[in-house]
């Protein structure tokens, strides 16, 4: 095992002695997520980590609650991939990022069902010219809806975003997270602009940018609005954010590259 990896695991054990269990024979360990200890992540460390390959999330188990383990495993691997940079260890960054992904999951509101706010009336019916909308998704009082548009520059993307936010219903959204990915072709090379904005929904923007990247679409801006209804829904929110974003991107006519 790489010396950097040995030191990284020893540090994790020293800081979280009751959360980590190692199986050095197989370079596999299981660790409860700090601050969210009902979630346990099983991770394997490939021989090429940290040189060229990130750790692999094998399984996510949950001690209580109704969760889609397969979805969580995929989500956690996306977080791991986004934290990994060749030549550097990333497990501390991974678990720090998970705190944002899982925030408020263990503090869900005890509101009665009758107290959950119905946000369906807030959703824009006819988005502005140039935008293509997904169908809205509602879950435990929260409503998610995505909008995608073709843009040819960052300046155009910002203008489109500012225009969208002038809508009265959009202004009532609790979050309007976004991501954009733009390529300008020149005589000598391609100039690439890509970035994202969480707008207060921790880690959402980076997940959306990851989605746009793996779809391999260009000259796009995608916005997902969330109207919050009073009940925290934990990591399920990322499923709805990605689902609506993908639908809006496809409806807008973008064609994912075939791998």
Span 227-253, pLDDT tens digits: 988 788 888 888 899 999 999 999 999
Longest distance between any two alpha carbons in the chain, whole Å: 61
Please report, for the chain, the start and end positions of each structural domain, with discontinuous segments joined by +. Answer: 1-102, 129-250
Does domain 1-102 sit in CATH 3.10.110.10? yes
Q: What is the pLDDT of residues 77-136, one digit of tens each?
A: 988 988 898 999 999 989 988 877 776 444 443 333 334 445 556 566 555 788 999 989
Residues 6+ apart with CB under 8 A from 185: none
What pLDDT does 185 receive?
82
Q: For residues 167-193, give the mean pLDDT.
A: 89
106 or 214: which leads in pLDDT: 214
What dotted CATH number matches 129-250? 3.30.230.30
Q: Is residue 26 exposed (0-12), middle (13-18) or buried (19+ Cβ within 10 Å)? A: exposed
What pLDDT does 39 receive?
93
Distance (Å, rounded) from C-alpha 242 to C-alpha 254? 15
What pLDDT does 111 receive?
36
Q: Is residue 52 exposed (0-12), middle (13-18) or buried (19+ Cβ within 10 Å)? A: exposed
What pLDDT does 32 receive?
95
């Amino acid at each position: 095992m790489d010396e950097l990896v040995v030191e990284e695991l020893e540090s994790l054990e020293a800081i979280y002695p009751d959360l980590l269990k190692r199986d050095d024979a197989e370079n596999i360990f299981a660790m409860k997520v700090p601050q969210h200890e009902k979630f346990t992540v099983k991770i394997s460390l490939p021989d090429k980590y940290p040189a060229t390959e990130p750790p692999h999330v094998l399984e996510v188990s949950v001690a209580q609650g109704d969760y889609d383990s397969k979805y969580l495993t995929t989500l956690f691997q996306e977080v791991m991939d986004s934290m990994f940079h060749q030549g550097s260890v990333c497990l501390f960054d991974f678990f720090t990022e998970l705190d944002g992904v899982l925030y408020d999951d263990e503090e869900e509101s005890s509101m009665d069902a009758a107290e959950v706010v119905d946000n369906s009336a807030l959703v824009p019916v006819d988005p502005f010219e140039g935008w293509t909308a997904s169908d809205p998704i509602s879950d435990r009082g929260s409503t998610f809806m995505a909008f995608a548009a073709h843009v040819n520059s960052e300046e155009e993307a910002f203008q489109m975003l500012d225009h969208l936010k002038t809508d009265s219903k959009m202004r009532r959204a609790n979050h309007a997270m976004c991501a954009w990915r733009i390529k300008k072709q020149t005589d000598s090379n391609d100039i690439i602009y890509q970035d994202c904005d969480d707008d207060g929904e921790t880690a959402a923007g980076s997940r959306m940018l990851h989605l746009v990247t793996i779809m391999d679409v260009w000259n796009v801006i995608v916005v997902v609005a969330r109207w919050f209804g009073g009940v925290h829904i934990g990591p399920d929110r990322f499923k709805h954010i990605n689902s609506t974003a993908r639908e809006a991107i496809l409806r807008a006519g973008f064609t994912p590259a075939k791998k």
